[in-house]
Every structure is written in C-alpha cells, then in structure tokens.
Amino acid sequence: MVKKVVLAYSGGLDTSVILKWLQDQYQCDVVTFTADIGQGEELEPARAKAEKLGAREIFIDDLRQEFVRDYVFPMFRANTLYEGEYLLGTSIARPLIAKRMVEIAADVGADAVAHGATGKGNDQVRFELGAYALNPDIQVIAPWREWDLNSREKLLAYAEQRGIPVERHGQKSPYSMDANLLHISYEGGILEDPWAEAEDGMWRWTTAPEQAPDRPRYLEITYAHGDPIAIDGEPLNPAQLLAHLNTVGGEHGIGRLDIVENRYVGMKSRGCYETPGGTILLKAHRAIESITLDREVAHIKDELMPRYASIIYNGFWWSPERRALQTLIDQSQRLVNGVVRLKLYKGGCMVVGRQSQESLFDPRIATFEDDAGAYNQKDAGGFIKLNALRLRIEKRLQG
Amino acid sequence: MVKKVVLAYSGGLDTSVILKWLQDQYQCDVVTFTADIGQGEELEPARAKAEKLGAREIFIDDLRQEFVRDYVFPMFRANTLYEGEYLLGTSIARPLIAKRMVEIAADVGADAVAHGATGKGNDQVRFELGAYALNPDIQVIAPWREWDLNSREKLLAYAEQRGIPVERHGQKSPYSMDANLLHISYEGGILEDPWAEAEDGMWRWTTAPEQAPDRPRYLEITYAHGDPIAIDGEPLNPAQLLAHLNTVGGEHGIGRLDIVENRYVGMKSRGCYETPGGTILLKAHRAIESITLDREVAHIKDELMPRYASIIYNGFWWSPERRALQTLIDQSQRLVNGVVRLKLYKGGCMVVGRQSQESLFDPRIATFEDDAGAYNQKDAGGFIKLNALRLRIEKRLQG
Amino acid sequence: MVKKVVLAYSGGLDTSVILKWLQDQYQCDVVTFTADIGQGEELEPARAKAEKLGAREIFIDDLRQEFVRDYVFPMFRANTLYEGEYLLGTSIARPLIAKRMVEIAADVGADAVAHGATGKGNDQVRFELGAYALNPDIQVIAPWREWDLNSREKLLAYAEQRGIPVERHGQKSPYSMDANLLHISYEGGILEDPWAEAEDGMWRWTTAPEQAPDRPRYLEITYAHGDPIAIDGEPLNPAQLLAHLNTVGGEHGIGRLDIVENRYVGMKSRGCYETPGGTILLKAHRAIESITLDREVAHIKDELMPRYASIIYNGFWWSPERRALQTLIDQSQRLVNGVVRLKLYKGGCMVVGRQSQESLFDPRIATFEDDAGAYNQKDAGGFIKLNALRLRIEKRLQG
Amino acid sequence: MVKKVVLAYSGGLDTSVILKWLQDQYQCDVVTFTADIGQGEELEPARAKAEKLGAREIFIDDLRQEFVRDYVFPMFRANTLYEGEYLLGTSIARPLIAKRMVEIAADVGADAVAHGATGKGNDQVRFELGAYALNPDIQVIAPWREWDLNSREKLLAYAEQRGIPVERHGQKSPYSMDANLLHISYEGGILEDPWAEAEDGMWRWTTAPEQAPDRPRYLEITYAHGDPIAIDGEPLNPAQLLAHLNTVGGEHGIGRLDIVENRYVGMKSRGCYETPGGTILLKAHRAIESITLDREVAHIKDELMPRYASIIYNGFWWSPERRALQTLIDQSQRLVNGVVRLKLYKGGCMVVGRQSQESLFDPRIATFEDDAGAYNQKDAGGFIKLNALRLRIEKRLQG
C-alpha cells in the first residue's frame, strides 16, 4: 500500500534499522530526512549511512534558525513550564520535524512518514499529531509499535543480518538522550529509580556548579516585542543568541533539572535535563515583563500558561487551540521591550536589574518618599471598604 | 467615637508615634499587640516602651507555631508563587495578625483596631480585609492615611515633642523591611531604581553564594499529607522545621530574590526577598507531589495556583474563595507522603531523589526495558488516531 | 482466557445478540445486569429473555434513588452544562452502571465486563474508564469494536441463526435513544443532517409547547445544602423529586434541546434531548445560589464548570480530578438553602422569586432609598481611583 | 479648578439638576453630551432643555451603529453571560459613552467629565474606569457621591429653586431603568424584595408569553466571522439587525430575565431585563459555532468567558486584559460562518437547524450507518486504554 515513506533519520542504529526494515516490510522507497536543530552532531555521516542503506533520496536541513525563531521564542513568550519545572526542550522540537516531514512527503510524492519513537513516550504523539494535522491523509508508520524487535539483542541481530553498521567504538550511553539548541535530556538507566541521584558523569552540557568559575558573570539581554535580540548590546540572531547563552550558561553550571513528569500516555517518568540558555531566558523574560506588562494581562498569561504548556507537551502545537492561545500571548508582547541584567554564578541565575523605554514602573508613584500628590493615600480607604463589603455582609448574615 | 483601639505594635518609631497619636487624636485607650512570628527581634523592649507610652493593656504573643502550621504550610500545599516568583512571605503573615487583633479587640472590649501600614502598600489591605471579614463592625484606623506626618522629619518632630524615644544608635536602614519565619523583605532606598543592583550589604539572612560553603549539603525532607514533618529523619514541629531550613538554606546562600511585582493598589514596586527555607520547601513539595499526585489533579492545582496566590497577596485569606480553593488543595494532599532528597550548593537547591510508599511512579511500566506486557504499545496507535481526529477533519474541511 | 463476564443488558436486540455472541466467541459464562435508572421500561421481560438466552446469573437492580442522589444532584451543584447547553443526561448515568458492573463482577467472580456501546461514541469511554478506575485488572469486552456484525442486516441474521427473539411488533424507532430519570436523548436518523428540524413525533417526554396548557404553572422548590428537597413545600426524596419535575415540566413543554456537540473521540455529533426536570433544576439552583453564595466563590465555580462538565462528559467521573473539584463544589453549598419560585409556561421556565434564611441579599444596602449610612457612597471614589491606577499609568507611559 | 466639564446628559430630571449644580458648584462651563444608543427616546427635547439650562455646547450623537458593531457584536462572539444569565446590556454601553465623553472633552478643551450614576452601582465604575483609561489626566465629577441632594425631595426642591422643569405628566416609574439597543433593565421599587414577582405592567419591550402569537415564527440568521449579517437572507447592518431581532423577539415574548446579581462594589442586587434580540443572538451564535469551531477552542472560550464577562461587567472594557482576551476571541471567529435556523414561540427560542460551508460536522464519520472505513472503531480501544492508564495505576498503587 505504502509506496514511498519519509523517515526521520538520525543516523543512529535505531533509525538505521528502521530504514532497512521499512524497505523489507513495506517493499517501499525510503526517503530520509535529517535535521540540524542544534543537537551538536555531524550530519554528513548520516548522509553516507543513508546512502549505503539504500535511501532513495536524502534530505539534510539546517533548521536551527527556524527552530529558535518560530518555536522556541514563541513558547518563551508565555514563560512556559510544564508542571512547574520542565522547559519543554524536546516537546518544542517535534512539531518542526513533523512539519518538514510532511513538506518533504509532498515534495517527493511520499504517502507515508515514519519515525523512531517508541510506543511508550510522548514523542510518537507529537510527531503523529503534527503530521496528521498538517496532512490529514498521510499514513504514519511507527515501527516500534509494529515490529517484534523489542529488545536491544533483537535489534542488533537484525542489524547484523541486514548489514547495518554498528558503531563499537566507545560505550553506548546508558541513557536515552535527546538534544537540540534548547536542551539535552536523559532518561532510562539508573534514572528509572527516582530516588537515585544522577551520576556526575551523565551531564554533558553544563559544568558542575562545583567546577564552575569562582567569579560571577553578568549578562545583559535586550528584548524587543517579547523576544531576546541582543546580549551585552550585541545583536544576535535567534540561533546565535540561544547558542551563546548555552555556552555561557553551561560554563556557569546553569540549567540542570531532575524531575518526575507525567506523560500524556498516562505514566510518570523520570527525566534529567540541561537547559542552560532556556533557564536564563525564562528568568529574563519574566523580568522584562515585570516592568512592561500590565498586571491583569500578566495574571491571565500565568493562568493560561499551564494549559499552553500541556498543549505543547502533549503534541498539539499544530492545533487551533495552540494558535488561539498564541494569538493572545503574542498580542501581549507588543511593548515587552528593554534590557535585563542577570548574574550567573555556580548554577544560579539571578535578575539584578531591568529597564525599558516602555516601563510601567513609575517611581514617582511607588516611592516611599514624598510623591507630590501622584497618589492619594486616602483613596485606599474606599478601595478597601468596598472590597470588604461582601465579606462584611457575609459575616453579618451567615456568621 | 472610638473608645478603645488595639494597635499592632512593633516597638519601632512609627508605631510608637501612632500609639501616642491615637491617644492624642482619638482621646481613646490604646491596647498594644505585639506578635512573635519569627521576625527575630526581642519583644520585651516593646513591652517596656508601650508601658512608657501609656498603653492601657499590652499583649505579646508567640504565634510562631500557629503561623507556620496554619498559614505557611497550607499555602505551600499549593506550590504558591505570586507572579511566578514571589513566595508571599509578607502576605501570609498579615491574616494571622488581623485575626489576633480582632480577637484581642473582643477580649478587651475595643471598638477599633489600628496598624502602621501606609496607604500605598498591600499590607493595609491585608490587615483591614482580615479585620472586616472577622468582625464586620470593627472600626479600622490607618494613621498613615489620616495624619499629616507624611515625612520622616515631621515624624521625628512629633516624636520629640511627645517624648517618644528615638533610637540613635547605629544607622537607620535605608530599606523598608519586614521579617517573619518565612522571609525578610526589602523595599525602598536604591531599590526604587529597578535597574540598580541590590547592595551586598543589604541581605541579612543568607550568606552570599560566593561566601557559601564549598561543599554541597544534602538534605532529606519527609512529608505527610503534603506538609513537611521531618528533616534528615528527625521529626520537627512546623516552626522548628522552617527555622532549621532557614538556617541551613541561609548558610548555603539559598533564597535570594529580586523582582518587580504588581501591587493590588495598582502600582508596580520593586522588592528583594530572602526566603531560604521556603525556597527549599517549594522545590521539595513539587518533588514529593511529582510521584504521589495524579497528573490531572496536579494540573488543576497548577492552573488554580496563580489565582490562589493573588487571593493571598491581595489580602483575601479570610474570604470564602480562599477557603473554597483550600478545600480542594487540602483534599489533594491526602497521599502526598514520602521523602525528598535535595542538594544545596552556593545558592542552588536541586532535587536529586524522591520516594514514597504512595508513589504512582511505576517502573515496570515506565521502563525502557522489557515491561513484560504491562503496557501495550499498540494502544498508542488508537490513542493518537482519535486525538488526531478533529485535527484531521479540520484540515480536510477548513484547510 | 475470559471465564465469566458481566454484561450490561437492556433486554433489547443488540445486547441480546451480545449475550449470545459472548458465549459463542469467548466460551464463557455470561452474567447479565439490568438497572432501573428510570428509563421507564419494564425490566421483567429482560429477566425472561436473559434466562432464555442462557445467562448464568441475572441481576436486576433498582438504582433510581442512588442515581439521583449520588450522581445527578452532585452534578447539579455545579450548574453543569457541557458546551453551554447539554445537561449531561447520558453521561451522568454511565459511571453508576460501571460501578455496579464492577461490583457484580467481584460478587460473582467474573473476570470481565461487557457493554453494548459502539466504538464511535462517548459511552464506551465512560463505561470503560469507570470499570478500569474501579478495578484496574478487569477485562473489558466491547463487542461492537470486535465483531463483524457491523450492520443491522448482519445482526438480524445472527439473531435468527442463534434463536434470539426479534420483536416485530410496531416499528423500530429511526433514532438511537437513551433514557433515564434525568433525560431522554435522540441521535441518528434524519438528525444526522444538522439543518433538518427534528420531527414533532420524535419527542416523547415533553408536550410540544404549542400543545402545553394555556395557563402557567407556578412551582416552589426548597433547597438544603445545594440540593432540592421539597416541591411546593412537600418533602420528596431525590428520585421522587426529579420524577415529579419531569412530569410537571414535561406537561409544560420544558426542556427540549437540539444541539451539535463535540464528542471525546473527536467528532461532532447532533443530538436532541428532553430534560424537563433538569432544566428546571438548573434555573432554580442558580437562583438559590444567587442569594446565598459569595460572588467570588460563584465566579470560581463558573470558571471551573466547563472543565467539570468535560470531565463528566468524557467519562472521568471516577477520577481524582472529578473528586477534587467535587470537594470544592460541595464545600461551597453548605449554606445554599432556601426556596425558589418558578413559573412554567409553554416551554419556558422563569425564576420569579427566591428567599433564604442565609440570604446575602441585604436590602438595606442595595436599596435606592435612603440606606441610613449602611453604605458610604464616597468610598466608591477611592475604589475606582485605585482600580484605575494601573490603567492611567499605562496610558501615560505606554500611550 | 475645573473650567469646563462634559456631562453625559439624558435630558431627564437628574442630569438636568446636575447640569445646573455643576455650574453652581464648580463655577464652570458645562458641555452636554447626549447619545442615541437606541434607548428609544426623542433626543431633541434634551437639546432644548440643555440650551435652556445654560449648556455651553451641546453634543447629540447617533452612536447606534458603532454601539452594535464595535461593542455588542464583539461581546457576543464570546457567548458572554455574567453569572450564567445576564447579557450585560447596560455594561456594554458604558464604555462607548465614556469614550465619547473623553473625545468631546478633548475637542472642546474640557478638563473634566461628569455623569449621573450613583455611588452604589456599577455604572459609576464603568464610566470612570473608561474615562481614566482613555485620558489619565481627566477629572471625573460624580455629583451623586458629592452632593447632599440624596433624596427625591431634595432633588425636586433644588430643581424648583433653580428653575429646572419637572415633568408632571404621567407618573414616574417606580423602577430605575436603563435602555439601549441591546436591552432595557429595571431595578428598585418592589424588585428590592427578591421574593416578589415583577408586575406584569413593568415589562416594556416584550409581549408577555401568554399574549404572544399562537403560531411560532421561524427565523434564519446568517453569520460571517462570528457576527450576524443577515436575517432570512436579507443583509442588515448591525443596528438594523439587532433592532429587527428586538422587534420580532419582543413580539414573541423572548428575553425576559429576573435575577439577583453580584455588583462589583460588593453587594447583591436584583434586576429584571428584557433582551429579546440578544437572547436570540446568544442561542444562534452558539449554534453556528457548534458546527464551525474546534472543540478545544470552544472549550477554552467557555472557560475564559466568565472572566471576560466580569471584565466587562466591572467596567474594564478599555483595559489591556479585555483587549488580550478579545484578540483570542476574534481570532477564533475567522471561520464561524453559516446560517442558523431558529423557532420562536411564546418566550421560547430554540435552534432547529444550522449549516455552514465551513462546517466541521462530518456526517460520513458521525453516522450510525456504515462509514466506509472513515473511522476505525478499533482505535477507540487504545484511546481508552491509555486514558485509563493513570487511573489504573492509581487504583493499584494507592487503592
């Protein structure tokens, strides 16, 4: 039935086996698609491997700029955290991959897409909801839900049998990892015991706070319309800016996180994350909003945020509800302009200053000193009295 | 009209002037009330001073246990943060003061209460909403909104004229401060410029991260029904526990915060806060919930939290809406039991482990290894298909 | 694998075929369970039929009281409407059926439950989520998702072949219907065209407004703790009360509804409903709350209601999130006591009066006449000024 | 201090007294502003009266089109109801009046605006928040909060003394009323007893259901982008359309409402409303959305609606939070196009059909008949299993 399938291909063992398995199982052409979203790996080896394994066409795209500009930054406009802590580093990359897969499928006339996510995780949902939303007639092949290669041994046996090269150099990481310009994540291995502390050697992007520099680093981030556009006065494009913050933040041990989260498929899972740049951007964005955004708009955003985060976490980026919320979020950012000053030190990231041409902080009113009548303290009496009215009536009448 | 008034009395200059001014202005008896809520000051001097200034009766109460048990802990069950950052250290103490003022007024037959909060801040609202809610017929006197002693000079002149002792030893802090077992806060002075970094010398409770110990400290906090009950296995009562965490957290530089917040009275203001124990408890509580609380209940709590925080921040602790939300929050905590392990280091506080008899983390299902059929990956196909259905219909029909 | 299964058995053709099919397909014992939840059908014929078809055991339960008291009334405490209109008549009955099925399964040692809901609707979800939540190890058999009897013809052929009696008297309704003490619903047939008006002859419970009495009927409903307990002063138990309101409301043409709703499985569907008693109770409950419930609590309830409605509609009655919300809802009803007076006339139901010992309506304050100082109009000036403050600052600073 | 004030002038006794009182009290010029927002009164008498009473300039504006197009319709896009019932007929007119007052003040160089709303109601808040938001430096004069003419007798005495004509023909209505194209409202008089039924003679816009025509009337309303644009196929501009619906709805007794509501200033008050056109539009808009709007977007709108309603009710139309929510609401309406068919009969308004080119109702999928594979019922099994997963785990682990 399937004639041609676009496979999200990393070049690793799993998706290499899938490449071959698709050809075997579906007797179809396989087009590979490998994206650079800042995962920090060479992509040319993926090309060579795909060629060797008989890929019909090979797409390798640098999506870093688009990723940060159109996915990461819009999400950060909402101060998005899933379950109070997770910066959604994996979740936010999947919709972009899904979109490119569907575009490539249209380009090459493929009738299906395939991915290497397992049937237990969130990523399958994110890939597939994205693909279906953008092309409702696309077929999706999720080999992990179909085949019987459900152990490392079987996978290796299949690889050997079908001539798929298996890298033996070095040791396979005990963790399941995912990386892009926003973060690197770790699951599995000893992390499956939520009481076990992650090993020091696991963390890859950040210096341990204990090894971080003894002197704090100050940083100034400039915002325009809710997005960061410059660091220490130097304009940077989105991908550069995030990469730069990852470097600086990583050096100072910023952005390690160890949580148990609730997956959309219904189970709890433990994950460790390094998000140096994102951790800084969350603090900075809240700070620039704190002086430029109206209180009630800020509170509405805070109340909607958990739902917006769930929408992204659950894979509904390409949904009308995400777009509806995004409209509100984006509209709120028109005057979120200015500069935030932060101090990074051994894993800590603290806001120490913020300024803006559009600041709503009015020192003439807030001052403890004489305000020259800018604020009439007597007004507060009536304000309190009317706010108290229903409470007083209730106490009198209902006791 | 007013015959007897209960004054929330700190023993400082401002409330001493108020003590006298109330006698002068209202020709009434003044009963002073001074509470120990862990602000870390000697209270006996307040007694002596109140006596000297002609207080009719003097109440000095140790409310530390009640404060932490009945106010701080219930609030922490909701992972409460105002505007994403503020732990509500000042806000949560006011309802207790208001309650005791009203109780004392009933005891001594007073017809009014008075406080020393200014007409610009949130505290006047919190005191007065509490007082009105608990006694709708009480009168409230807020001298700062009534008198013309609206500068330091006038205040000092009045003090001198009426024989009120003014401490000259040492230097007056340039900051307006508030302290209790949960936090100490700073406003005013150079903080009125939101770009200016707080001076090192301002912070009182926490060691600067740079001066904190070079070795991390591990800590285990035991939870029962959502409240912390022991540290490193040692049972502690609420006030002890929070005090202990303040000490340890303070040593390690935990809990400094510098924000611009939105006051209920309509202005933005800049505040700096030290909340060492509270910062640890927020992280720990989220961690224990992460393995014991259902996903959807956790998400409902997250969505309601900003409103619950505003209710407390705005002074509506003694309101039916706070009680309604508290009912839901408390009900959710029945099985929030277990132990959280944290690592403190130079200002950082990281969760590194969590365990519970009531854990919902099921490693047999979450595992990357063979799960022996505990989870059928094929189910995910149907799950995704039906979740995608409306997206596909929309794409087909609305494009 | 399955040895004994409890089948939710209506006595109709579909579930009779299922009864036989389960025996054939699974070679297992079938225990039937038929509930009286006020659907208005004789249940003894179901017993006879089940016996004839070889049911191993037969349970016939009168659940009317439990249904109204523990499911309908708690739901009405929240003024629950799905998508602004639907009173959830079908949704609210399913959790009770699921609970009884699981209880019976435990009693008779069955390892599975089965139901006759199709794979397209919400009811399968409601039955199964309930069953799984109450017994996580139960097996669920949903024949409509398994078998190939997917047309009326095949079903009839199977019935004939296996000796299942098919009633030929009268004509089969063109609609798929569901009834209980709360409502009767219609789907399918010409209703599948959302532009087509429902035929007059379809409606079964309510007189057409055009044929309803020419004189209005007044009704007084007494509430205690948010639940109705008497009509026109006569105490009635929950089932009696709802039945009575159905009769009176039905006579007066109250409670017809024609909507297109969004199913949990992802499609839109058109349904017509008759909910005479429920329509009256919704109006009446809002009215009694209007004088006894605090504003902010009422608003929180209104904001949570759509989610609570979705939880029930989607089948999550037996979930921790429904229980959490129910706690809040129930707590709010403590003082929701009093009497509501309504006028029923030709399809309309209007509140014309409400009174309560716990009323928060204070005529001394609300009056347009002289209030003798109960309310100081000058307070409003300060109230408005401080509420306007942030708006004024914004206009000045951001334009 | 005040040199020139713009007065919202109705031509009635109260605002005529205010016109004179402002001249007396403030020794300032008074500019009158009278708006036609469809209240159904002659405005030229107001001009004559204002001239006679010495108004410096007189503005009489026909704002009907703007009112319906820019205020009523945007609000109806959200299916807005305050406290589940009130269609906000008064609330939605105030922001427009406030805007015109501020514009006229700018035109004529006035430094203040004045209105005739009392200090107990919501309208003062709505007028003044609007005025302050649009011109933060405007002064607001609210005579009812300032003067001592706080009884009818004093008002009449003042009128007599200052030569203000008092109409003696007919009898003064015992109700406080407000009317515009959306509704007419009644407060005060016997309505201050919430148990007392409104007198038949009170209602002005709607025929009593008992007197309404014996034959139902069918109506088709065409929607484009969420707004009604035609009735029975005939295009009408916003004001025409609403006026037409008021006429037809009024004839059929549609839109009477009797409620107790919670005012922003803290008290409960009883109001009766006639909103014939609005009642029809609410039903119709929900119906057109039911086939054109995505489920999740509809649910988000439903959850935000109570807050949006409160924002308008409380007078915050001209606030950033209203604008933020409006952005989301408006974005959702892009494809809310089509026709709704309704049946009006003796006070009842029922949707009987709806159709749209952008319909998301897919009969091929929803059908009870063979769907030719459009929907795979087996998918539902996995969907339910994964939705049940967390419930099953909880039951197993927490019991």
Contact D296 A320 (CB under 8 A): yes
Instruction: Clarify whether B14 is annotated catalytic.
Output: yes
Give Cβ neighbours of residue B222 (< 8 Å, ≥ 6 apart): B228, B229, B230, B231, B233, B338, B339
- Indicate if the pLDDT at residue B219 is higher than 80: yes
How far is Cα D221 from Cα D231, in angstroms, rounded to an integer? Answer: 5
Contact A397 C294 (CB under 8 A): no
Encoded tokens for A269:
């899972």
Contact A381 B145 (CB under 8 A): yes
Instruction: State how beta strands B4-8 and B29-36 pair.
Output: parallel
Provide the pLDDT for residue A168.
Answer: 66
How far is Cα B114 from Cα B94, in angstroms, rounded to an integer? Answer: 13
Known catalytic residues of C are: 14, 94, 123, 176
Please tell me which chains touch C, using 3 or more CB pairs under 8 Å as the contact test.
A, B, D
Cα D366–chain centre separation = 37
Contact D321 A296 (CB under 8 A): yes
Q: pLDDT tens for residues B114-139?
A: 999 999 999 999 999 999 999 999 99
With beta carbons under 8 A apart, name residues in chain B contacting A195: 341, 353-355
Please pick, among A162, A176, A263, A359, the residue that the annotation labels catalytic.
A176
How far is Cα A111 from Cα C207, in angstroms, rounded to an integer? Answer: 55
Low-confidence ranges of chain D (pLDDT < 70): 168-171
How far is Cα A246 from Cα A268, in angstroms, rounded to an integer? Answer: 28
* Backbone φ, ψ for residue D281 (5° rounding): -65, -35
* Backbone φ, ψ for residue B285 (5° rounding): -65, -40
Contact B375 D362 (CB under 8 A): no
Name the residue among A360, A382, A398 with its Cβ closest to that of C383.
A382
Name the residue among B267, B300, B321 with its Cβ closest to that of C300.
B321
Length of chain B: 399
CA distance D188 to chain A (A): 20
Strands (E), A202-337: 217-224, 227-231, 234-235, 256-262, 268-274
Strands (E), chain A: 4-8, 29-36, 57-62, 112-114, 139-141, 176-179, 184-187, 217-224, 227-231, 234-235, 256-262, 268-274, 338-345, 348-355
- Give the CA dihedral A68, A71, A77, A81, nearest 10 degrees: -100
Q: pLDDT tens for residues A221-236?
A: 999 999 999 999 999 9
Question: How many alpha carbons lie under 13 Å from residue A396 in its C-beta half-sphere?
Answer: 16
Provide the pLDDT for residue C372.
Answer: 75
Length of chain D: 399
How far is Cα D100 from Cα D102, in angstroms, rounded to an integer? Answer: 5
Average pLDDT along chain A = 96
Contact D45, D20 (CB under 8 A): no
With beta carbons under 8 A apart, name residues in chain A contacting B86: none
Provide the pLDDT for residue D370.
Answer: 73
Question: What's the pLDDT band for B171 if we cut at 50, 70, 90?
Answer: low
With beta carbons under 8 A apart, name residues in chain C contacting D378: 119, 145
Q: For A48-61, what is the mean pLDDT?
A: 97
CATH of domain A4-64+93-162: 3.40.50.620
Give Cβ neighbours of residue D366 (< 8 Å, ≥ 6 apart): C120, C192, C267, C268, C269, C270
Contact A390 D328 (CB under 8 A): no
């559009």: which residue's tokens?
A358
With beta carbons under 8 A apart, name residues in chain B contacting D387: 383
Q: pLDDT tens for residues A309-352?
A: 999 999 999 999 999 999 999 999 999 999 999 999 999 999 99
CA distance D332 to chain A (A): 6
Please pick, among D47, D64, D77, D123, the residue that the annotation labels catalytic.
D123
How far is Cα A13 from Cα C367, in angstroms, rounded to an integer? Answer: 79
Question: A47: part of which helix (H) or strand (E)?
Answer: helix A44-52
Q: Kindly identify which residue of chain D lies nearest to residue B334, measuring between CA atoms.
A: D398
């974005």: which residue's tokens?
D331
Rounded to 5, what percent of chain B is helix, strand, coil?
45, 20, 35
How many angstroms separate the first and last alpha carbons of chain C?
73
Contact A386 C379 (CB under 8 A): yes
**3-class SS of residue C66:** helix
Contact D194 C151 (CB under 8 A): no
CB-based burial label for C68 (10 Å; 0-12, 13-18, 19+): buried
With beta carbons under 8 A apart, name residues in chain D contacting C379: 119
Contact D133, C395 (CB under 8 A): yes
Provide the pLDDT for residue A171.
Answer: 66
Please tell me which chains touch B, using 3 or more CB pairs under 8 Å as the contact test.
A, C, D
Interface probe, candidates C390, C394, C398, chain B, greatest B C-beta count within 10 A: C390
How far is Cα A17 from Cα A160, in angstroms, rounded to an integer? Answer: 10
Interface probe, candidates C360, C379, C390, C391, chain A, greatest A C-beta count within 10 A: C379
- Indicate if the pLDDT at residue B298 is higher than 70: yes
Please pick, among B176, B290, B319, B359, the residue that the annotation labels catalytic.
B176
Are both C4-64+93-162 and C176-293+335-355 of the same fold?
Answer: no
Contact C266 B297 (CB under 8 A): no
How far is Cα C162 from Cα C165, in angstroms, rounded to an integer? Answer: 9
How many angstroms separate the first and last alpha carbons of chain D?
73
| ipTM exceeds 0.85, yes or no | yes
Contact pairs from chain A to chain D, CB under 8 Å: 70
CA distance A288 to chain B (A): 9
Rounded to 5, what percent of chain C is helix, strand, coil?
45, 20, 35
Q: How many CB atoms lie within 10 A of CB D378?
A: 16
Please pick, among D64, D94, D256, D354, the residue that the annotation labels catalytic.
D94
Contact A398 C360 (CB under 8 A): yes
CATH of domain A176-293+335-355: 3.90.1260.10
Q: With b meaning 16 or more CB within 10 Å and e meaning fewer, what string describes D204-233?
A: ebbbebeebeeebbebbbbbeebbbbebee
CA distance C385 to chain B (A): 9
Give Cβ neighbours of residue B107 (< 8 Å, ≥ 6 apart): none
How far is Cα A142 from Cα C223, in angstroms, rounded to an integer? Answer: 56
Q: pLDDT tens for residues A151-197?
A: 888 999 999 999 998 876 556 788 999 999 999 999 999 999 999 99
**Least trusted range by pLDDT, from B239-253, B378-392, C32-46, D167-181:** D167-181
Question: What's the pLDDT band for B368 if we cut at 50, 70, 90?
Answer: confident
Domain ranges of chain A: 4-64+93-162, 176-293+335-355
pLDDT one digit per residue (tens) for chain C, 399 residues: 899 999 999 999 999 999 999 999 999 999 999 999 999 988 999 999 999 999 999 999 999 999 999 999 999 999 999 999 999 999 999 999 999 999 999 999 999 999 999 999 999 999 999 999 999 999 999 999 999 998 888 999 999 999 998 876 556 788 999 999 999 999 999 999 999 999 999 999 999 999 999 999 999 999 999 999 999 999 999 999 999 999 999 999 999 999 999 999 999 999 999 999 999 999 999 999 999 999 999 999 999 999 999 999 999 999 999 999 999 999 999 999 999 999 999 999 999 999 999 999 998 887 777 777 789 999 999 999 999 999 999 999 998
Contact B178, B168 (CB under 8 A): no
Please tell me which chains touch D, using 3 or more CB pairs under 8 Å as the contact test.
A, B, C
